[in-house]
């Protein structure tokens, strides 16, 4: 069982926007700016990293909910810093206040939720449910 995670637990990840992270990589007629799905993935990574020290054995954290507002574009070459700070725990569900910043603006903000699970039990459930 995972160690208790104190409120305020936090982590940051920083990524550089590459063409493969842009809307243009998906559809050429769209602008070459950071796509919302990639940005959210980076915000989720911050939550994942925050929980790693509290996982034991084969435990990992998995995403359970996202509520993110994406407000500003970010071009190829820019660095994006994503931060996740634990704000509440409800049983096995942990909710983080998350934000992303491109060095000039807060480009996104909201919440992400994660749960700590046993990887082997999680994978076993997936096998059963896919049969």
Residue 70 annotated among the catalytic residues of the structure: yes
Catalytically annotated residue among 9, 21, 22, 44: 44
Q: In a 10 Å sphere around its CB, with 0-12 CB exposed, 13-18 middle and 19+ buried, how is residue 128 labelled?
A: exposed
Q: Residue 20 has what DSSP assignment?
A: G
The full DSSP string for 83-122 is EEEEEEEETTEEEEEEEEE-SSSEEEEEEEEEEEEEHHHH
Residue 36 annotated among the catalytic residues of the structure: yes
Q: Residue 130 has what DSSP assignment?
A: T
Tokens 């994503």, residue?
82
- How far apart are alpha carbons 110 and 19 in whole angstroms? 25
Catalytically annotated residue among 36, 49, 64, 87: 36
Catalytically annotated residue among 12, 49, 64, 70: 70
Task: Please give the positions annotated as active site.
Answer: 36, 44, 70
């Amino acid at each position: 069982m995972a160690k208790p995670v104190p409120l305020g637990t936090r982590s940051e990840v920083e990524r550089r926007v590459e063409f493969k992270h842009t809307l243009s990589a998906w559809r050429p007629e769209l602008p070459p700016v950071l796509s919302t799905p990639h940005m959210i993935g980076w915000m989720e990574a911050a939550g994942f990293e925050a929980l790693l020290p509290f996982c034991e054995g084969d435990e990992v954290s998995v995403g359970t909910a996202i509520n993110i507002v994406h407000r500003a574009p970010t071009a190829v070459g820019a660095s994006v810093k994503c931060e996740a700070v634990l704000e509440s725990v409800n049983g096995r569900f942990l909710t983080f206040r998350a934000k992303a910043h491109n060095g000039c603006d807060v480009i996104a903000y909201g919440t992400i939720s994660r749960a700590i699970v046993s990887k082997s039990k999680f994978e076993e459930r997936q096998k059963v449910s896919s049969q």
